[in-house]
Amino acid sequence: MAEQDPLKIKVVGSTPTWPKFFLSKKRMKNYEVLEHTADIGIRVKSSSLEGLFRNAGLAIKDISAEKQKTLIPEKHKIVITQKADNREELFVNWLNELLSLSAAEALIFEDIKINQINEQFVDAIAVGSDIRNYKTNIEIKAATYHQLKVQKTGSHWQAEVIFDI
């Protein structure tokens, strides 16, 4: 008869152990972290579509990095324009563009100004600081379509998105 567990490995739980910094952060009014087995999700709220996109972009910063000493005070403004067939696709494209530009330019986006937005187009300016001014906590690779929701309920907007980490 073959031994059931020859390596004597014990698996405990199915969710990752999040760093203490992450669990100790206060829940922000405009987003909350959602539990997910291997990745990380957020639920973002706002009274406008503009605010929803801004809040989601800034949530990336809060989740992925902590401000340290300002070694390089220079700020970089980057214009971001995205088009899509619908608001869900636009939302994912927007977040992935922020993540891509952040990695390519070695920036953490500290502020976002939405110039123009509708359900198929967004034009914004993201203001970034050198990544060396931050301690990276979690590397977010991409926004996904898994369990994606972007909806208007009454007079408020809400989105849920899962990020690959």
pLDDT tens per residue, range 10-65: 333 344 444 444 444 444 467 777 765 668 999 999 999 999 999 999 999 999 99
Domains of the chain (ranges; CATH) run: 29-164 (3.55.10.10)
pLDDT of residue 29: 60
Q: How many CB atoms lie within 10 A of CB 65?
A: 22
Instruction: Report the distance separating Cα 65 and Cα 136, nearest Å.
Output: 4
Decide: helix, strand or coil at residue 137. coil
